[in-house]
Chains A and B, each alone.
Chain A
Amino acid sequence: MKNTLPSEDHLGEVVFVELPEKGVSVSKGGSFGAVESVKATSDVNSPISGEIVEVNSKLPESPGLSIGSSVETPIMAPLEFVINFLYIVASLFVDMKINSSPFEDGWMIKVKPSNPSELESLLGPKEYTKFCEEEDAAH
């Protein structure tokens, strides 16, 4: 299941995921967390505004990188945006050890939108994949 979705290609293996608390509000374009790969830190920005109603607590727990402890394998969590239970916006990282079904367990946060019209600007999974392919082809 490696590299089945485009973003993993761009960021490399995920080694740490940082997510916010439930109840926090997010705004369109604003950062709500971060994804760390071996070489880079990327903000994860919310594509819509609203209130975080659920956080996938399994993701941040998984890294477990503590001093003196040796971790057999780096975390390669399946991550997925799932917005408003309906809109799967972007497949961020897929793999691997924990689950190969990102659409079920790999989501990051669920957001109750405060401005549902923002959803119209988002891409569905097919459009997203197509967008990534086009962008990759461009460089």
Chain B
Amino acid sequence: MRGGLWQLGQSITRRLVQADKKAVARRYFSSEAELKKTVLYDFHVANGGKMVPFAGWSMPIQYKDSIIDSTVNCRENGSLFDVSHMCGLSLKGKDSVPFLEKLVIADVAGLANGTGTLTVFTNEKGGAIDDSVITKVTDDHIYLVVNAGCRDKDLAHIEEHMKAFKAKGGDVSWHIHDERSLLALQGPLAAPTLQHLTKEDLAKIYFGDFRVLDIKGTTCFLTRTGYTGEDGFEISVPSENAVDLAKAILEKSEGKVRLTGLGARDSLRLEAGLCLYGNDMEQHTTPVEAGLTWAIGKRRRAEGGFLGADVILKQLADGPSIRRVGFFSSGPPARSHSEIQDEKGQNLGEITSGGFSPCLKKNIAMGYVKSGSHKSGTKVKIVVRGKAYDGVVTKMPFVPTNYYKPS
């Protein structure tokens, strides 16, 4: 199988020849034994979840609904995702804000209490270590969530800098929220459904806002954010209450909010033009190249003071040599590593994510092209299995976002 995150299925010939059967069974046995399980694992299986290895975890790639049906239902009604594999983390101490500002591009000090933003952890070369949603809970408490696949390196990176920072007298410490689980409730029914389970007025909580609040009798961290382009929430709930909360959400939606797996989650984020770290952003990619210049706070552009700031500020002044853009294409869906060419067949770059859009019913992709070829409407060729197919640079998001913002 090529071009995939997903270890879905096997090569079809494996199914044809009896002799291969044992090899397949062995391979699955050895990898699955080491996988971590979220507290919702049995709940997923009971609901028909097809469990696959993902970033060291056994996670549902889909349930009984097809990926196309799940993706469309999220935008029409709602989806509930178990995203407990992601790592929630709190930084505490009076110097938490200046500490974090050394590692990320965001204007953390400028965030109002109880609000957050998408940001990027950078390395000395200005490349991305990870992307993360961070929230300034108070001046001495930052809450953030990092990618499952980046957990170990992110924590090592933060810890190393924290030691040095503390050695110089800085006041910061961390707590990793491994005693909590994370549910993402997304789509137009997210707010009306969740409102049944909390007394807090959700109409006053806008996109990017954070609250500690009571949901169904337990203290949860609620962030109005997500990874689908839809309105919705990520709910950090004590693990012992996670299954009950998931059941309550599904029940209160009268079956319209559906359990949704990683397959549809990837389609949704691609339609929303959001980066998948490891595909669309890597160690060598700067936030400017990735189209995340908006996430570099104005004060940070003036002052720098984060890792790789020299590289990033120079790119801001001169313009990056490559840029992340979106594409529509004909033929088979473009996948990661498909070559992008100009109309004369000269190399322009590479696709980093692509697939069939369940909502638009056509192929969408994102990738990096040389600056100059990045303008919307630029005609390109995308090479799939040796054949060049027509493509066109397209503005993202592919599907309009529906974030809940003050009018």
A interface residues with partner B (beta carbon < 8 Å): 7, 9-13, 15-16, 18, 29, 34-47, 65-74, 89-90, 92, 121-123, 128, 131-132, 134-135, 138-139
Contact = CB atoms under 8 A, between A and B. Distances in A.
Contact of B356 (A15, A35, A131, A139): A15
A34 B329 contact: no
A128 B15 contact: yes
A16 B9 contact: no
A139 B331 contact: no
Contacts of B29: 138-139
Given A7-B12, A47-B17, A65-B331, A39 B28 contact: no
Interface of B: 1-6, 8-13, 15-19, 21, 24-25, 28-29, 32, 50, 62, 66-68, 71, 263, 266-267, 328-333, 335, 355-356, 358, 360-363, 385, 390-392
17 contacts: A12-B62, A36-B333, A38-B263, A39-B4, A39-B8, A40-B4, A42-B11, A42-B12, A43-B12, A45-B13, A65-B356, A66-B330, A66-B390, A67-B330, A74-B356, A74-B361, A131-B21
A139 B330 contact: no
A39 B330 contact: no
A61 to B, nearest CB: 12
B245 to A, nearest CB: 28
Contact of B8 (A10, A29, A121, A134): A10
A41 B16 contact: no
**A-B pairs, 6 with minimum CB distance:** A10-B9, A45-B13, A15-B356, A16-B332, A139-B28, A66-B330
A70 B360 contact: yes
Contact of B332 (A36, A71, A123, A132): A36
Contacts of B391: 67
Nearest to A47: B16
Contacts of A45: 11-13
Contacts of A12: 8, 62, 66-68, 263
A67 B329 contact: yes
A70 B361 contact: yes
Interface centre among A42, A68, A73 (most CB of B within 10 A): A42
Contacts, number: 141
B262 to A, nearest CB: 9
- Chain B contact residues, majority secondary structure: mixed
B384 to A, nearest CB: 8
A114 B72 CA distance: 47
Given A12-B8, A39-B8, A7 B15 contact: yes
A119 B9 CA distance: 24
Contacts of A13: 66-68
A18 B332 contact: yes
Given A12-B62, A67-B330, A135-B24, A42 B16 contact: no
Contacts of B68: 12-13, 38, 74
B263 A41 contact: no
Given A13-B68, A42-B11, A47-B13, 14 more contacts: A12-B66, A16-B333, A16-B356, A36-B332, A38-B358, A40-B8, A41-B3, A41-B333, A42-B1, A65-B356, A123-B16, A128-B16, A135-B21, A139-B28
B278 to A, nearest CB: 15
Given A36-B356, A41-B335, A45-B11, A138 B25 contact: yes
A90 B14 CA distance: 11
Contact of A15 (B4, B62, B333): B333
Contacts of B18: 121, 123, 131
Nearest to B363: A65
Contacts of B12: 7, 35, 42-45, 90, 92
A34 B332 contact: yes
B4 A41 contact: yes
